[in-house]
Every structure is written in structure tokens, then in C-alpha cells.
Amino acid sequence: GIPLHTRPQERQTYHALELARWSKRLKMPINLVPRYYRKQALPSDWNKLPGWTVIAAQQAGLDAQALSHALLKALWVEERDTADASVRVEIADSLGMPGVELVTAERGDLVQAAYREFSEQARLIGVFGSPTYVIEAERFWGQDRLDFLEERLIELSRI
């Protein structure tokens, strides 16, 4: 995908409008312009660190989904800088996970190999943004496509 900060201002303001709509519909709090969300060019791995922490948790057999949710909530609701290692450690620790171990593992060979593999798999099937769901090679991108995804799953359940 194209980083939001590089898109025309009209697209950026529409993005905020959509976030507000989804926040209201889902009754889910969100900061439309989080303090630590990328607004300018930053190091290429700035937003990968939390994902690498999640991969480390997954590889350790921990609840990676809970960690992912907590990291996203920290960025989008709690105004916390998830690119900061101490924040990731604190969040993991709060979930009963070994935060220091997970953050240490982020740049390790196993996590980096998994990240490269996941990225290549995503590229091969045409994933360009999140969330993307793939059912039998059919892609569904965005939370506003979940109705289509649900319909497809219902169709498949009848087969």
C-alpha cells in the first residue's frame, strides 16, 4: 500500500472520516490522528517492530492475537509509541508474556525469516493492505468488505 502521509490531503481527510464512521459503528474508541502514527518519512522498519514482536510471540506459542490487539490499541487509542521497545515490553508483560525476551527476539534470525516468508506469501497472493482475508484464492480487503467475506463463507459451508 501507499503510506497515508504520501497521499493527497483529500485522501488523508477521507481516511479520517472513514475511521470516525467505523469507530461510531463498532462503538470502538479511536484517535483519528494518533500522536505516534507515521506522518513523515521515518526509518523503513519503524512500523515493523510491533509486528516482529507479534511474530516472536507466535513462535513462542503465546497468544499473538491478544498481543497484536493490545499493540494496536496502544497506538490508536492510548497514544503510545509502539516503535519504542520499552512500550512493547510493557504491553507484553501486562499480558503475562516475557516482554524483554520477545523484543530481543524481534531482530533474530527466526523472526526475520518468518517475516520475509509471510511477506513473500502475501505478495504472491496479491495482498496490498490490511486487513486482507483470502478464501480459496479470493481476496477480501478492508473491514467494509466483511459482508462479502461472510457471504463467501456461507456459500462454502453449503458445499
Show the domain range for 89. 44-125
Chain centroid to CA 131: 8
Same domain, 108 and 153: no
Q: Label residue 44 by pLDDT band (50, 70, 90).
A: low
Task: Please check whether residue 38 lies inside any domain of the structure.
Answer: no
The answer on 114 and 84 residing in a single domain is yes
**At 42, is the pLDDT very low, low, confident or very high (cuts 50, 70, 90)?**
low
For residue 139, the cross-strand partners are 134
Domains of the chain: total: 3
Kindly state whether residue 106 falls inside one of the protein's structural domains. Answer: yes
Span 132-158, mean pLDDT? Answer: 92
Residue 39 domain-assigned (yes or no): no
Is the same domain home to 62 and 104? yes
Say if residue 95 is in the same domain as residue 78: yes
